[in-house]
Amino acid sequence: MPLTLTDLTPPDGFERLVLAQHPEAGLRALICLHSTVLGPAAGGCRMWPYTDDAAAIHDVTRLARGMSYKNAMADLGLGGGKAVIIGDARQDKTPAMMRAFGEAVEALGGRYWTAEDVGISPEDMAHAAEVTRYAVGLSGASGDPSPWTAEGVFRCLRVGAAHVFGSDDLTGRRVLVQGLGHVGLSLAEKLAAAGARLIVTDIHQAALEDAADRLGATICAPDQVFQQEMEIFAPCALGGVLNARTIPDLTARLVCGAANNQLASDDLTETLAARGITYLPDYVVNAGGIISVASEIHGKNDAWRLERLAGIAGCVAQMLERAAASGQPPARVADAMVEAMLDRKRAA
Ligand code: NAD
């Protein structure tokens, strides 16, 4: 049986939800276009062993909507979309499956651009790219997005520091970086170069020892993060680290990090604000990676990427000013800024 695409009823406010199946290639995937108001939808493809289609639909729609917001705020001329392949990336993934996925992307005629996400490597994307023009994040093209993500987080963190502490000088500021992976390590290096007093945590001891040796960082055990005295918290590992259990113990006055979905639930925005903690929304500050991917879509150079990075730092400054004037938490202001942008474009 060849590839089939079946349109499912998308949730309210979403443009399209497509089930792509290719039984011979073992492909069962969902592609969600949340919005193409600002341009073709762009967002990665994740492979995950979802328990059923409902779980996959829940994830792909939430992620696609998040991409609309992230791409809008970063001014990329792109809408938001996402794809999920149902299966175990370690056992089920094959080149044939990735080519079948590429065929599905191609069949959408450029309304959706894909790239790698959890469970999908640049090599996997290269198989998809054999049959579609709309696959990016390939080796030898825009390259690893992580350094761009780290630079974006660093710039936004300085803007946040200026707002919270009255100066963007990080000399002597106690910053805890959680997760020394691709983004976290690069961010820690920038913070150390800017004179911050670093505290680092990771589940890999070697990464911690390297940061202690090279950057003079203090090491903290992963389960001791919320027992540390810090001024700035930079979550760069997992989602959901800020929750009802951890927030009461958080000593930081500013949160700015790369991890996606740092808040366990949206309403915690208000909980953080009530504790006097300024939380810079993850989707705004971690947009450096999609900026890098977008440069590949649009055929742009490093100057364009840097301009867009400066743009997200500018958005953070605006968002903080408006938050101070309105008394609303910055994350609510950010959402309102994006919704206004989408409304203006729809009206035009
Ligand atoms: P990564 O996998 O390279 O690094 C994650 C690090 O976190 C690893 O070193 C891991 O050992 C560590 N870790 C895992 N569990 C931990 C725990 N309980 N406590 C402390 N450390 C722990 O990932 P990355 O590419 O650096 O991305 C980091 C985060 O930023 C992820 O949430 C990712 O979704 C998000 N993000 C990344 C990019 C990018 O360009 N790479 C872009 C946007 C968002």
Domain extents in the chain: 4-65+78-129, 146-287+315-339
Going by CA atoms, what residue is nearest to atom 20 of ligand 1?
202
How far apart CA 311 and CA 15 sit, in angstroms, is: 27
Q: Is 256 helix (H, G, I), strand (E, B) or coil?
A: coil
Residue 49, classified by CB atoms within 10 Å of its CB into exposed (0-12), middle (13-18) or buried (19+), is: middle
Cα–Cα distances (Å) from 82 to 103, 113, 141, in that order, read 16, 9, 21
Ligand 1, pocket-test mutation among 69, 238, 246, most atoms within 8 A of CB: 238
- DSSP per-residue string spanning 125-164: HHHHHTT-S-B---TTTT--SHHHHHHHHHHHHHHHHHHH
203 CB near ligand 1 (under 6 Å): yes
Question: Would you state the structure tokens that stand for residue 177, as one six-digit string?
Answer: 């970086």
Q: Is 35 helix (H, G, I), strand (E, B) or coil?
A: strand
146 CB near ligand 1 (under 6 Å): yes
Tens of each residue's pLDDT in the chain, 348 residues: 699 999 999 999 999 999 999 999 999 999 999 999 999 999 999 999 999 999 999 999 999 999 999 999 999 999 999 999 999 999 999 999 999 999 999 999 999 999 988 899 889 999 999 999 999 988 778 778 889 999 999 999 999 999 999 999 999 999 999 999 989 999 999 999 999 999 999 999 999 999 999 999 999 999 999 999 999 999 999 889 999 999 999 999 999 999 988 999 999 999 999 999 999 999 999 999 999 999 999 999 999 999 999 999 999 999 999 999 999 999 999 999 999 998 998 888
Residue 309 has a CB neighbour count (10 Å cut-off) of: 23
CA of 188 to the centre of ligand 1 (A): 13
Over residues 15-51, the pLDDT tens digits come to 999 999 999 999 999 999 999 999 999 999 999 999 9
CA of 204 to the centre of ligand 1 (A): 12
Cα–Cα distances (Å) from 205 to 77, 213, 241, 306, in that order, read 41, 12, 20, 33
Provide the residue count of the chain. 348
Shared fold status for 4-65+78-129 and 146-287+315-339: yes
Give catalytic status of residue 82 as yes or no: yes
221 CB near ligand 1 (under 6 Å): no
CA of 74 to the centre of ligand 1 (A): 21
Among 70, 82, 93, 190, the active-site one is: 82
Pairing of strands 27-35, 79-86: antiparallel
Angle in degrees, 0-180, between the axes of helices 302-326 and 330-347, rounded to the nearest 10: 110
Going by CA atoms, what residue is nearest to atom 14 of ligand 1?
237
Residue 162, classified by CB atoms within 10 Å of its CB into exposed (0-12), middle (13-18) or buried (19+), is: middle
Strand partners, 178: 201, 235
201 CB near ligand 1 (under 6 Å): yes
CA of 177 to the centre of ligand 1 (A): 11
**Farthest-apart Cα atoms in the chain, separation:** 63
- Prediction pTM value: 0.91
Q: Which fold has domain 4-65+78-129?
A: Rossmann fold (3.40.50)
Pairing of strands 41-42, 16-22: unpaired
Question: Would you state the structure tokens that stand for residue 344, as one six-digit string?
Answer: 């203006």
Q: For the chain, what percentages of helix, strand and coil (3-state, to nearest 5) are there?
A: 45, 20, 35
Cα–Cα distances (Å) from 203 to 178, 224, 236, 259, in that order, read 10, 12, 12, 15
80 CB near ligand 1 (under 6 Å): no
Over residues 252-311, the pLDDT tens digits come to 999 999 998 899 999 999 999 999 999 999 999 999 999 999 999 999 999 999 999 999
Q: Which CATH number fits domain 146-287+315-339: 3.40.50.720, 3.40.50.2300, 3.10.20.600, 3.20.20.70?
A: 3.40.50.720
Ligand 1, pocket-test mutation among 70, 202, 255, 309, most atoms within 8 A of CB: 202
204 CB near ligand 1 (under 6 Å): yes
**Nearest by Cα to 292 from 63, 116, 156:** 116
Going by CA atoms, what residue is nearest to atom 30 of ligand 1?
259
